[in-house]
Amino acid sequence: MKFSVKKPRILVSCALVALCAAGAANSMAQQNKNRLPEIGTSATSTLSLDKERIYGDAMMRQVRASMPLIQDPVLIEYINHLGNSLVRNAEDVNYQFDFFLVNNKEINAFAFFGGHIGVHSGLLTMADNESELASVLAHEIAHVTQRHLARKLEAQSKTMPWTLAGMVTGVLLALVNPEAGMAALSAANAAGAQAGINYTRSNEKEADRVGMSILVNSGFDPNGAPDFFKKMSAKYRYTSKPPAMLLTHPLPDSRITDSRNRAQAYPSRLLPASLEFELAKARLRARYQGDAKDNITNFKAELKREQFQYREAGEYGLALSYFANEEYSEAEVLLTGLLGKYPNNLFFVDAMTDTYLEQKKYSQALTMLERLNLLMPNNQVVTLNYANSAIYAGEYELATNLLQDFLILNPDHFIAYDLLTEVYRKQEKPSQMHASQAEVYALLGLYPKAIDELHTAYNFASEQTLMKKRIKARIVQFQERENQLKRL
């Protein structure tokens, strides 16, 4: 599914982060009599788990509005499947984890409150195998389960409690935008800054240890971690500007050695290459990097030299490059062969759906997706492609039913609400359209805009309808969410 997010043109400030900071400061002042242990997962003297969830939700809405997220159901499905396969083998899991991809060639990954983990596309394309990628995700999962962000705030507050609010802002910025965050942190005094560095190294050591356990217990090769560390060290050893990941995840030689020693304590696993991983890398290259014509040339050359772990990944990348170059028949030929081998592979299904739609072969797309919808109901790749195909075919009621059912189980799904807004627009249902658009704004943390949309939806709704009652209730909910941050 080729999806383009229609975001409002806004300049996002750190207002939500500041609100989070104020809440953290108040919480610390009320509870600082409880001493934080230096190890373990507790950090309740600074933040409760409930407050972490609230802050994490607020941060995620800001991230959606301000960062170039890859709103791609296929890649979202892949990274969440991989990430949650690791979470299942982690301890002290207090949240439902959410993994997302940022369209950025910088090598970086970060975790923040509430189990939200972001991965830059450049990190995925740099990894040579799935164990390397999994090692980074496991490390970030460990940061969350060990509550390192809350513990860092507690450690900083011991040396400079009067700057806790600014420290929250700086730490969160450092995770999402390392250069800006490090500049904010540099304003702290020298003693506090040194304490922060030491605590970060302690966090990294613990996350490496816990992450290795998660990686091994999930069936991946333990050498994925030291191999990735070694690769990063070699690549950036002599560069004046390190990648974003090394600003927030220092990589001294001792850490690489420790990782290698830790991996040697486990049996090495010679795992076969992952087709899904190879397809994800090919998709990123073909859809988010380079020029379509250049990509066609490169994929053809690499296929000729047999450079792919799976030839299917090269053919898939070539098909996507043909599609991007509007050579739809060539793309269809390749995808037909791939689907013949893997009829339920969602990477291929998604690409074939787009190819059918561009050629106005709506019935073929709907037939293919109807079968898969029975096989995988409410799978985001199948459902969103099915609904999108129904929109193209003018079957708006089908699209509406699919999306409404999907949103019952996935109430914060940005793409689904954006598609539903489009369906209502085509159906000329202004009340429902504005109500759906309000949900899109809310997921970007723009509650005033969301409330304005709901007022417009209310004005279009018929008198004394259930729709009006629902709109009024939703306005109250959005007002309460906005006020909740202010009260913390």
**Whether the predicted pLDDT of 301 surpasses 70:** yes
Looking at residue 203, its pLDDT comes to 81
CB 326 within 8 A of CB 359: no
Q: Which two tokens stand for residue 358?
A: 């561009």
Each residue of 308-347: pLDDT tens digit?
999 999 999 999 999 999 999 999 999 999 999 999 999 9
Kindly state the tokens that stand for 288.
Answer: 């988010």
- Find the helix packing angle between 190-217 and 253-264, rounded to 10°: 20
**391-445 confidence digits (pLDDT tens):** 999 999 999 999 999 999 999 999 999 999 999 999 999 999 999 999 999 999 9
Instruction: Measure the CA–CA gap between 184 and 162, rounded to whole angstroms.
Output: 15
Distance CA 304, CA 310 (A): 13
- Report yes or no: 120 and 104 within 8 Å, Cβ to Cβ: yes
Please tell me whether 204 is known to bind a ligand.
yes
- 139 among annotated binding-site residues: yes
Neighbours of 468 (CB within 10 A): 17
Give the residue numbers marked as catalytic.
140, 208
Instruction: Quick: pLDDT tens for 14-25.
Output: 333 333 433 443
Mean pLDDT of the chain: 83
Structure-block tokens of residue 165: 């609010």
In the prediction, which pLDDT does 250 show? 57
Residue scoring higher pLDDT (146 or 365): 365
Structure tokens at 365: 């797309």
Return the pLDDT at 237.
Answer: 61
CA distances from 459 to 151, 308, 434, 451 (A): 48, 57, 10, 13
Residue 244 has pLDDT above 80, yes or no: no
Residue-wise pLDDT for 160-210, tens only, equals: 554 444 545 555 555 555 544 434 434 444 444 444 444 477 788 888 999
Q: Evaluate if residue 246 carries a pLDDT over 60.
A: no
Task: Give me the pLDDT at residue 446, please.
Answer: 93
pLDDT in tens, 69-104: 999 999 999 999 999 999 999 998 988 999 999 999
At 15-71, the pLDDT tens digits run: 333 334 334 434 433 343 333 333 344 444 557 788 888 888 888 998 898 889 999
Other Cβ atoms less than 10 A from the Cβ of 39: the count is: 9
The pTM assigned to this predicted structure is 0.84
